[in-house]
Structure 1
């Protein structure tokens, strides 16, 4: 493993590519990996999100639609149950969409630093601004889960490696831009809404990670704030 510089003592492989945690609070009844007939506590909300008839009762068609969503985003158990984890992902998506093109409306990210990459842990969003001008984003990201929080505060990109591979987890971390020890922006080959989160890195889609690579450089500021739901 190459030494990434002055902060490289921390292990670099922090992608969080792990098997998602099973539901615990409000979990569905234990079943085989097939469609459940059980109505979940968030049935109506999930039906509305998926464009299904909102009647609050589980149907075969509801279950099929819920399972498709769960499979797409790596939510387990994937039995079509409208539980808290599935609704939590949907609710986050709704909140992210509501932000529109004004991610720094509250003025939390510094505007006196020139080009800066901002990370809102609460909404799991990131964007790049130059002063107060929005340069790119906001885009959804996947940050550190409980026990592996993405650390908050003002940082700087100190090392970039386009083809980095984690020696800790033996997984690829394309377009890595390290800003705090082993924590970096990088792309992942799974949904950025996949629960419960990374091992501290800011996971991005390949498209967004590639764009960040083209827009940022060593020495650029990164500001991380807020708190990821569930951490």
Structure 2
């Protein structure tokens, strides 16, 4: 693993996945990777939640990872992979709370009514987000506070020379500078808005 995302879901992680793959750091692991192979990958993360992570097996075939579940394990991954670089994808806490509340929060809170094949995945997602103090039925203000607490903890844990704090609106330049690669002659990826989020979920059912 060369690059690990410590930013929570709904901070431009799907665009960052596309960017890292464009820059040669793919394949990039994302929650979508779990959704597409739940029988294999959900047990990986349940083991990690129980303190029995096998990072080599979990990330086999991948050179980078972003989004949840990975972001909840930045402490463990920093220790286990001392040569990896970390990217804290971010946005304003209020805008994150609104985006999370209208997407992931709804999906996870209603997990008991989800199709049976998705319930183990959603139970795992619920446990993973809880590691970041993000729980069911939180107010926007409480969500924004949890978001800020997570970011402060990442910055306090990951040495500054290994960490890039990055917003998608900054484009390629800071990302490429951090990774030591050339800036592509094309726009930075923009994908997975709220409607696309639900389309990805539908494809996984």
TM-score with structure 1 setting the length: 0.20
Decide which structure has greater helix share.
Answer: 2
Bigger Rg, which one: 1
More strand by share: 1
